[in-house]
Structure formats: C-alpha cells, structure tokens
Structure 1
Amino acid sequence: MKTSTFVLGLLAGSVTAAITVLYSTPQTGSELRTSVKHASSDIKYKLSDVKGKFAELKSSIGHLAKETKERLPETVEDLKDTLQHWQQSTEANKKRLEKEISSIQQSIAELEQSLLSHQK
C-alpha cells in the first residue's frame, strides 16, 4: 500500500468522522459554527503534525540509505576477511579429521578382511 493512499484514507476518515459527530449532536447554529471552527483548527493542527512526522520519516530514511551505501561495502569486506580467516583457522582441523577418517576406513577394511579370513 502506498503511503499517500494511506494518508489520504486516514484524512478522509477523520474528516468524515468529524462531520458525522458534528451533525449528529443537537446544537444551535452558532454552537455548530463554533464546533466546526474548533474541529477545523484541530484537523489543521493534526495535519500539520502528520506532515512534520512524514518529513522526519523521509529524512530518517534518507539518512539510513546514505549510511547503508557507505557502510555496506566495508561490511562485505569485513565478512569476506572473517570467512577467509575462519577457513584458514579450520584448515588444520579439517586435515586432521580427514586423516582420522582415512585411518578409520582403513581399520574397518582390515577388520572386514580379518572377519572374512576367520569365517573360512
């Protein structure tokens, strides 16, 4: 949903609610005009507040986008360096595990040979 559509719907709903409340209460003409003036100024104030909040949001999003553009390449490089360091630090363990697996496989093969020769 687009932000402008949401804001437009919010404004339309607020105006409709305000008008409905104003016309559903029993008031004299002067009281009604006073109520409409107060409601109008209240809506203007709220609209101005919403406008200010959207300006702040837009500014924050712009700042976030700028920070992301600046820091993303640095973060990617840091991740690459960390991954490379991890691969180097685990290389010795990887080779040790490969030797142990090979030794276990050889032992299993010897045991199988031994079992076959005992069965004959």
Structure 2
Amino acid sequence: MKASTFFLGIATGTVAAAVTVLYSTPKSGSEIRTTVKDASTDLLEMCDDVKVKIIKLKGSISKLTKEAKETIPEAVDGFKQSFDKWQQTTEPNKNRLEQELSAIQDALENLEQTIAAQQK
C-alpha cells in the first residue's frame, strides 16, 4: 500500500465524517459555539478548583513534614530513655538469674559426680 493512497483515504474519511456531522447535528452553529464556550468555562473552573486543592495539599504535606521532624526525634529519645530505664531495672534480676543458673549447673555437676562415684 502506498503512503499517498493511505493519506488520501484518511483525508476522504475525515471530510465525509465532517459533512455527516454538520448535516446530522440537531443544533445550530451558534448553539454549538455556546455549548463549547460553556464547557470550556466549566473546564477552566474545574482546573482552578484542582489548582486550589493542590495548593492546600502541598500546605498540608509541608505542615505534616514539619510536625514529623519535631515529633519523631522526641519519640526516639523517649524510647531510648524507656529502654535504658528498663535495662537498669532488670539488671539486678539478670544478675540473680545468672547466679541461680550457675548454682544449678554446679549442683548438676556434683550430682553427676555423686552418681558416677556410686556406680563404681
């Protein structure tokens, strides 16, 4: 298929479609222009609304970012302090448990030695 034939077909189809639309439209040209003008005005108003909403969203994100920068370090410091306090309060229990485990291990070793001595 040649390119010139292809483009001639597209041009013919476009002209035929335009003529069909012009003769089959239920509105006059001035009515169509008014409708298009109203639609474009509505579209511009919608674009302005979207623009305002985007500006508000940008402000909200900026505010949220600022609050997060202030709040997160405070929360992290609070967690660190709580963890340090927890470690300090559990240290005596940890030491006591280590001593008890050591005592249990010593008792088991003594028991094993006693059993081994009795079996001989």
TM-score bin (small chain): 0.5 to 0.7
**Max radius of gyration: which structure?**
2
How far did residue 30 of structure 1 move?
3.5
Name the CA distance, whole Å, in 1 between partners of 2:108 and 2:33: 97
Query: Counterpart amino acid of 2:92?
Result: A
- 5+ residue gaps in structure 1? 1-22
Summarize the alignment of residues 20-39 of structure 1 with structure 2, pairs less than 5 Å apart: 26-28=25-27, 29-39=29-39
How far did residue 69 of structure 1 move?
2.3
Name the CA distance, whole Å, in 1 between partners of 2:113 and 2:26: 105
> Over the residues paired in the alignment, what is the CA RMSD in angstroms?
2.3
Name the CA distance, whole Å, in 2 between partners of 1:107 and 1:34: 101
Could you say which structure has the greater relative contact order, defined with CA pairs below 8 angstroms and 6 or more residues apart? 1
- 5+ residue gaps in structure 2? 1-20
Name the counterpart of 1:114: 114
Q: TM-score, normalised by structure 1?
A: 0.67
How far did residue 76 of structure 1 move?
2.5
Name the counterpart of 2:82: 82
How far did residue 74 of structure 1 move?
2.3
Name the CA distance, whole Å, in 2 between partners of 1:27 and 1:111: 107
Q: TM-score, normalised by structure 2?
A: 0.67
Which aligned segments of 4 or more residues in structure 1 are displaced greater than 4 angstroms?
none
Name the CA distance, whole Å, in 1 between partners of 2:41 and 2:90: 69
Aligned residues: 97
Name the CA distance, whole Å, in 2 between partners of 1:50 and 1:114: 87
Name the CA distance, whole Å, in 1 between partners of 2:93 and 2:56: 53
Name the CA distance, whole Å, in 2 between partners of 1:37 and 1:112: 100
